[in-house]
Amino acid sequence: MKMHQVSDHCFAVINEKNRVCDANSGLINCGGGVVIDTQSDLAHARQMIEMFGKVWPAMPQRVINTHEDADHVWGNQLFKGAEIIAHRSVPERMKQVAEPKESQKLLHGVGRFLTRLVLKTLHPGLEAAGEQLLEDYNFDGIELVLPTTLFDTRYELNLEGKEVHLIYVGPCHQVGDTIIHLLEERVVFAGDVLFRQCTPMGWTGSYEKWFQCLDLLIELDPEVIVPGHGPLCGIEGAMEMKAYLQYVRDESRKCFDAGITSLEAAKKIEFGPYGEWRAPARLYMNVERAYREFRNEPPDAPWDSAATFDAIYQVAKAKGIEAEF
Ligand SMILES: [Zn+2]
């Protein structure tokens, strides 16, 4: 984890491993201090707070959650008394997708020899994902702390004359997707609308909506984009991710028309240049999303997470690479 200054008043904490749960956070160090996303567990959140403390000594008065996923909200409880701002959908969605109990159970299970063996037989992908998470994370003690200030389409903050625009862009990767734009500083905190040098994982939303959002990122013409996952970039990051999603959707269409399953399609589709990204076998999720659209299924059709991690694992094995999530 490293802190970078990205403009006069904007900072980013970047998780360099860039695997699942390695989310980034942001800080705006004026007007009471604003933190953007709060990390995946309490130890990482504390480390992030300590780093930001070097450039903003008081506890920030505001937190923004870019969306409802666990890796962006599980440090919320450490910001006692802060105003927590998010899209209106986020509190209810957090209860659905970010309840820590299942993840705590998974890591405890993987940590014990016998339960690990059982899990490995039943769900090899979920077990492998659990082992990977156990290398860096401990979900004990996490309590859901929900956003307190909710908005629908736009929300504006004025920090000592500096305008901060929260723009709702969901659902493209998740229901609550919000980007944060600082016009004068030419910075956008993109949340998980942008994954950089790692394969995107989209849960709820459509390809069209995601393309629109990436186009908006490019139109805003920031100098720096802080992605939800991966290193800092400019608008080339948004362009590259759009090209990836277009490539996956096109290849998926061919496979869908040929009548093969989404899992077989993910095994068949070449990674191409995107094989250099972290966790390339997460491709499966993007293929499955495309298939859901081809079948006219609703964008909020739920995911079976054990089956999803198992499918990613199988794709990695079929490609002869180590399973990474
Ligand atoms: Zn994330």
Sheet holding 162-168, edge to edge: 154-159, 162-168, 178-182, 187-195, 224-229
Give the mean pLDDT of the chain. Answer: 97
- Ligand 1 centroid, distance to 258 Cα (angstroms): 33
Please say if the pLDDT value at position 318 is more than 90.
yes
- Ligand 1 centroid, distance to 320 Cα (angstroms): 26
Average pLDDT over residues 55-67: 97
- Ligand 1 centroid, distance to 94 Cα (angstroms): 13
Question: Where residue 56 falls among pLDDT bands split at 50, 70, 90?
Answer: very high
Q: What tens digit of pLDDT does each residue of 85-106 get? A: 999 999 999 999 999 999 999 9
The Cα–Cα gap between 130 and 323 comes to 12
Render 77-124 in DSSP notation, one character per residue. Answer: GGSTT-EEEEETTHHHHHHHH--HHHHHHHHHHHHSHHHHHHHHHH-H
- Ligand 1 centroid, distance to 161 Cα (angstroms): 30
Q: What tens digit of pLDDT does each residue of 220-240 get? A: 999 999 999 999 999 999 999
Report the Cα–Cα distance between both ends of the chain, in Å, rounded: 18
Say what the pTM is: 0.96
- Ligand 1 centroid, distance to 89 Cα (angstroms): 17
- Ligand 1 centroid, distance to 26 Cα (angstroms): 13
Question: Where residue 5 falls among pLDDT bands split at 50, 70, 90?
Answer: very high
Q: Tell me the percentage of the chain whose pLDDT exceeds 70.
A: 100
Please say if the pLDDT value at position 259 is more than 90.
yes
- Ligand 1 centroid, distance to 201 Cα (angstroms): 8
Q: Decide: 110 and 178 in contact? Cβ < 8 Å.
A: no
Domains and CATH numbers, the chain: 2-97+141-235 (3.60.15.10), 243-319 (no CATH)
Q: What tens digit of pLDDT does each residue of 8-48 get? A: 999 999 999 999 999 999 999 999 999 999 999 999 999 99
Please say if the pLDDT value at position 311 is more than 90.
yes
Q: What tens digit of pLDDT does each residue of 176-186 get? A: 999 999 999 99
Range with lowest mean pLDDT among 68-82, 108-122, 262-276: 108-122
Cα-based angle 15, 77, 70 (whole degrees, multiple of 5): 50
Q: Decide: 24 and 13 in contact? Cβ < 8 Å.
A: yes
Q: What is the per-residue pLDDT for 122?
A: 95
Strands 149-151, 83-87: parallel, antiparallel or unpaired by DSSP? parallel
Question: Where residue 299 falls among pLDDT bands split at 50, 70, 90?
Answer: confident
Please say if the pLDDT value at position 130 is more than 90.
yes
- Ligand 1 centroid, distance to 116 Cα (angstroms): 26
- Ligand 1 centroid, distance to 282 Cα (angstroms): 13
Question: Where residue 274 falls among pLDDT bands split at 50, 70, 90?
Answer: very high
